[in-house]
């Protein structure tokens, strides 16, 4: 049976140069397949707002939605390290809120860690959640919850000045007690500096190959999310197209009475049909 990894395993993997594999999952079936595939980590990302609920961004996502999806993922993947993603306004308003909401992920969904977006400005929250005995992953670079402030879903750290600010954020997050850091949509050379500088593991989504592991959004990798595809995504399949063609085939079969076939139906017990006809 697969062994669930711990923060110490992730730390050792950084030290031995073994890449961590990480993908988002929002539902039971996907999480089950990810665990079977040997994924090291799952993120129940607030990207579920776009992938599952059809919102334009992650801002409308609620704690209750994140908890419900995290519970389903936990049931499907008992032996995989699961990270719950703190949605917008679940940690920005106050430190007390941040600790209580992180605690909900632990108590109600049984996650192994939580992730939250932001640099220096969320370090008091990171510190308080860690002091509460929970594991925190920081998230810098393109932070979708503040995409309005960033001017959209745009790559970050493209200038020396903004890269230096990201490096300062990364150090502050480590000092605040995060056990790992996610860097999103940042040039590889900047992510490499951060990875080399920090003693905690640094993971990339769209930040190149030099990090300690990679995260991808499952709907991107599977080719299910159709609205847009960021540059950093590798689409391993076009499952969306396959789903559409299966549904079309089913629609045609039903319309033409080709489905269900005899093999899809139940048989009455011998002699019961005649009895029934006599009765009616
Ligand atoms: O919600 C999510 O899936 C994320 C990734 C975009 C990093 O936070």
Is position 252 annotated as part of the catalytic site?
Answer: no
Residue for token pair 């502050």 = 172
Cα(143) to centroid of ligand 1, in Å?
A: 8
- Two structure tokens written together for 103: 């605690």
Nearest Cα residue to 90 out of 52, 63, 128, 65: 63
**Averaged over 153-162, what is the pLDDT?**
96
At 188-235, the pLDDT tens digits run 999 999 999 999 999 999 999 999 999 999 999 999 998 889 999 999
Question: Which residue out of 43, 60, 63, 141 has the highest number of ligand 1 atoms within 8 Å of its CB and is therefore the one to mutate?
Answer: 43
Question: Which 3 state secondary structure label does DSSP give 44?
Answer: strand
Query: What domains, with CATH codes, occur in the chain?
Result: 7-237 (3.20.20.60), 242-279 (no CATH)
pLDDT > 90? residue 2 = no
Cα(45) to centroid of ligand 1, in Å?
A: 5
What's residue 1's pLDDT?
76
What's residue 228's pLDDT?
87
Nearest Cα residue to 170 out of 114, 115, 129, 123: 123
Mean pLDDT of the chain: 97
Query: What are the distances in angstroms from CA 18 to CA 11, 35, 143, 210?
Result: 10, 18, 26, 11
What's residue 21's pLDDT?
98
**Averaged over 167-190, what is the pLDDT?**
98
What's residue 66's pLDDT?
98
pLDDT > 90? residue 137 = yes
**Averaged over 92-98, what is the pLDDT?**
97
Nearest CA to ligand 1 atom 4: 45
- Two structure tokens written together for 200: 């905690």
- Two structure tokens written together for 61: 């996502």
Between CA 4 and CA 10 the distance in angstroms is 11
* Ligand 1 atom nearest to 215, measured from its CA: 7
Query: What are the distances in angstroms from CA 217 to CA 24, 220, 235?
Result: 5, 5, 10
Sequence-ordered strand ranges (E) for the chain: 20-24, 41-44, 81-85, 113-117, 136-141, 180-184, 202-205, 213-216
What's residue 164's pLDDT?
98
Q: What's the pLDDT band for 177 if we cut at 50, 70, 90?
A: very high
Between CA 280 and CA 272 the distance in angstroms is 12
CA dihedral over 221, 225, 72, 173, signed as positive or negative: positive
Q: What's the pLDDT band for 53 if we cut at 50, 70, 90?
A: very high
Distance from chain centroid for Cα 107: 19
* Ligand 1 atom nearest to 48, measured from its CA: 1
Kind of pairing, strands 202-205 and 180-184?
Answer: parallel
Nearest Cα residue to 4 out of 96, 92, 81, 67: 81
pLDDT > 90? residue 265 = yes
Annotated catalytic residue within 35, 71, 117, 184: 184
**Averaged over 174-187, what is the pLDDT?**
98
pLDDT > 80? residue 249 = yes
Q: For residues 219 and 236, is the Cβ–Cβ distance under 8 A? A: no
Residue for token pair 């990302």 = 45
At 66-87, the pLDDT tens digits run 999 999 999 999 999 999 999 9
């Amino acid at each position: 049976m697969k062994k669930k990894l711990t923060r110490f395993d992730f730390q050792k993997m950084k030290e031995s140069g073994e890449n961590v594999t990480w993908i988002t999952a929002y539902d039971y079936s996907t999480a089950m397949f990810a665990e079977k595939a040997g994924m090291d980590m799952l993120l129940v990302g607030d990207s579920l707002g776009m992938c599952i609920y059809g919102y334009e961004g992650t801002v409308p996502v609620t704690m209750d939605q994140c908890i419900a999806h995290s519970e389903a993922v936990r049931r499907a993947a008992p032996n995989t390290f699961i990270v719950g993603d703190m949605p917008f306004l679940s940690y920005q308003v106050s430190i007390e809120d941040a600790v209580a909401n992180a605690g909900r992920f632990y108590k109600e969904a049984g996650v192994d860690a939580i992730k939250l977006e932001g640099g220096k400005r969320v370090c008091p929250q990171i510190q308080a959640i860690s002091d509460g005995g929970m594991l925190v992953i920081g998230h810098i670079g393109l932070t979708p919850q503040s995409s309005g402030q960033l001017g959209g879903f745009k790559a970050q750290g493209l200038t020396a000045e903004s890269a230096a600010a990201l490096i300062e954020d990364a150090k502050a997050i480590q000092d605040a007690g995060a056990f790992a850091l996610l860097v999103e949509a940042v040039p590889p050379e900047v992510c490499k500096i951060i990875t080399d500088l920090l003693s905690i593991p640094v993971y990339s989504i769209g930040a190149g190959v030099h990090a300690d592991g990679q995260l991808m959004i499952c709907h991107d990798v599977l080719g299910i999310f159709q609205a847009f595809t960021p540059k950093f995504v590798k689409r391993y399949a076009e499952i969306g197209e396959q789903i559409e063609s299966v549904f079309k085939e089913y629609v045609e079969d039903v319309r033409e009475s080709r489905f269900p076939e005899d093999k899809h139906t139940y048989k009455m017990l011998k002699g019961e049909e005649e009895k029934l006809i006599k009765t009616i």
